[in-house]
Structure 1
């Protein structure tokens, strides 16, 4: 079957499609990629003694920029909007007991296929490097770092998995359902900081991100009518929490910090998410008019078709640029020095070119796959088991990285030691279960 061109896809876009949401999806991922390229600063001392630091740790005054550039909440907000529409569409087209499996397969295909290719390629490279006795220098840094952004995939999988029950709560209670998640996030931080309850902070991986996701449901039903109030409330709340509480200024994680707003997420990060959602909703009118232009819309369609592949491989490209510089005998300037800043445009341009080459090589795994047969009734539990395995697998891999593959290096996931090979196996097994549940064995109807 011939793949439609970008122009053809753009021209057949229905008038009812909310193009601004697609623009937000692309813009948020592009901002994350650019932020990673700028913040990650590789250093080299003593020949092969290579490390990596964060520009924001070197220049703390720049941390205030994360209040504009930490845009993952926008992506998860858009995810909630898309999940609401997708689940309702699946409910109209499939038998009641098969909706969950069909929904998960439809939402996760374009997410998991490129992710699994990334994991398998890097797993094979890591195995080869360690068998050959390598793993030092920039290669060692890459083996540790390239898997870290997979946490985002894990969170997104959890959002898809929780969409049906949370969408029901939204349909019954509207803003009260969102308020319940906010209250749970606040209570978790009280237990964490005021009462020092151990391990309770990890609950906010669910409460904070699912609250942002719930805002997407509210937008899908036209219930965000006062975005200025939402933005002002979020900004004021985040400012007060940072000024008066134990929360750091940065809305991204910093090396060695005692408290991070990101890992686990905090109430301050949730307030930051409210501010960003309100802000992008205030820009909805101009954004809608912008995407009505044919050339702009074609660009958005093209970017959406490769966004996940670019996200997965962007750190690989950046570290390859640093590796090439070291291999050529070039000295790496100290982060935030005049020479370092002068080299930023060259590094970003080189990383963009390498990312484009990697996208060209792997983009086919992100292409939409034709819908399979209607899943038979009762496949929901299989799909739920599959998405749970995928979630645990990619989260574990984001923690272990690909370094120490043969040595059995572990990371603690929910208190259980997990190795990288086990994480890869869980991810692969989970994807196969989701696929099996989504395809089923029944004939299409």
Structure 2
């Protein structure tokens, strides 16, 4: 426990919603453990445990908790934007973007640059085509899709928050209805490319639930959970949707990419379920030791998320270097190695966190800016470029840096170098959305 984490825990305002901090950490922890479990690595390459043992796909109904993270994001974004408006009394869009993106983009871009350097060195040495090496360069950036979606949520918070304040539940219903329409056009009429709209409609609908929580308008969480669970079960049983709530290699339809109505229903039941646990969890979080642990974990959560797959790859690399053949995925010997492999991956992740956590540390508080009129559009453009760059990297991976390898982002081919350039350029624009004058924030 660091002194700064202890001090932050002791300085927590009495009115802070501690449960959302717990949900943020817990959801990322579940995702990390899920990725470690699903990584089915053998001497022949890297696969997915859920494809090896399809019966385990039902576990994704508990392990696919990204909707909880986006729900918490909506809650936090609503509070932050409103607070910034009250305290500055002026245009705050650029300020909001810079403040929310700083702790997200800095560790992300450091991760990208480190891995791009590794990938370039490996390919210059002529070793980028190995089965495991090639798989590592391909999959290590895949979790960045989450960063890209989250960037879009931050950028769209102000207009969607205004919509929420005017329409309440109707705003959520509009986004959910649009997601249903997209799936109808996709599956019933075969309209090309329309499915990609649900990257916005599905995740923004979940994000909108966070606004509703911020205003205390999720009053019957049991009904929300029951409706979502029933809807997801019906969609899988009678619709064109697969059982797995995460993407599976080779599947014709994925609930994740692009998102589907089945995944939206899954998100509804998760939101209802975590809301039901809010009361008991709030009492538990009042314990000083528990709260200090949550504060400390929140301070490094993004760094741990970014480097957790690298840690697992390191563990498998050491196993291969030591000589014994890796057991077949899902065999008895493979399951026996799961606990020590998890512990080794956790220790390695902690080492990466110790090395890179400085980039996630918040900047020292200082005077906030009331930006000039052009700052908002400049920050928005920068955010869009970052979004496209990060999503592009999650699609292309870092293999083929030198040979022009490309992948399709929606309907546009993109290469890894172009994606990196967009992300870096976008970050520079966000940082350059300079103020015209400064005011001192209170509180």
TM-score by length of 1: 0.96
Structure 1 stretches (4+) deviating beyond 6 angstroms?
none
Alpha-carbon contact 2:193-2:411 (below 8 Å) kept: no
- Match of 1:297, SS state, is helix
- Alignment partners' CA distance in 1, 2:406 and 2:253: 23
- Match of 2:42, SS state, is strand
Alignment of 1:34-73 (within 5 A): 34-44=33-43, 50-73=44-67
- Alignment partners' CA distance in 2, 1:110 and 1:116: 11
Alignment of 1:384-395 (within 5 A): 384-395=380-391
Q: Find the partner of 2:351 among 350, 357, 365.
A: 357
Alpha-carbon contact 1:154-1:392 (below 8 Å) kept: yes
Who is 2:432 aligned against?
436
Who is 2:22 aligned against?
23
Q: Find the partner of 2:417 among 415, 421, 436.
A: 421
CA offsets 1:386-431 (integer angstroms, 9 cap, x no match): 0000000000000111100111111112322211111111001101
Who is 1:339 aligned against?
333
Alpha-carbon contact 2:109-2:424 (below 8 Å) kept: yes
- Alignment partners' CA distance in 2, 1:414 and 1:54: 24
Task: Rate the CA distance shift 1:8–1:288 in 2: closer, same or farther, 3 A.
Answer: same
Q: What is the CA distance between 1:372 and its match in structure 2?
A: 5.7
Q: What is the CA distance between 1:141 and its match in structure 2?
A: 1.7
Q: What is the CA distance between 1:119 and its match in structure 2?
A: 0.4
Alpha-carbon contact 1:254-1:260 (below 8 Å) kept: yes
- Alignment partners' CA distance in 2, 1:330 and 1:425: 41
Alpha-carbon contact 2:152-2:387 (below 8 Å) kept: yes
Who is 1:75 aligned against?
69
Who is 1:94 aligned against?
88
- Match of 1:96, SS state, is coil
- Alignment partners' CA distance in 1, 2:182 and 2:209: 20
Q: What is the CA distance between 1:115 and its match in structure 2?
A: 0.2
Alignment of 1:20-419 (within 5 A): 20-44=19-43, 50-97=44-91, 99-135=92-128, 136-370=130-364, 371=366, 373-378=368-373, 379-419=375-415
Unaligned runs of 5+ in 2: none
Task: Rate the CA distance shift 1:216–1:335 in 2: closer, same or farther, 3 A.
Answer: same
- Alignment partners' CA distance in 2, 1:64 and 1:372: 50
Q: What is the CA distance between 1:109 and its match in structure 2?
A: 0.4
Alpha-carbon contact 2:193-2:410 (below 8 Å) kept: no
Alpha-carbon contact 2:95-2:369 (below 8 Å) kept: yes
Q: What is the CA distance between 1:442 and its match in structure 2?
A: 2.9
- Alignment partners' CA distance in 1, 2:209 and 2:72: 9
Alpha-carbon contact 1:138-1:319 (below 8 Å) kept: no
CA offsets 1:209-247 (integer angstroms, 9 cap, x no match): 000000000000000000000000000000001000000
- Alignment partners' CA distance in 1, 2:211 and 2:223: 18
- Match of 1:345, SS state, is helix
Alpha-carbon contact 1:373-1:441 (below 8 Å) kept: no
Q: Confirm whether residue 8 of structure 1 aligns to residue 7 of structure 2.
A: yes
Q: What is the CA distance between 1:443 and its match in structure 2?
A: 3.5
Pairwise CA RMSD: 1.2
Q: What is the CA distance between 1:137 and its match in structure 2?
A: 4.0
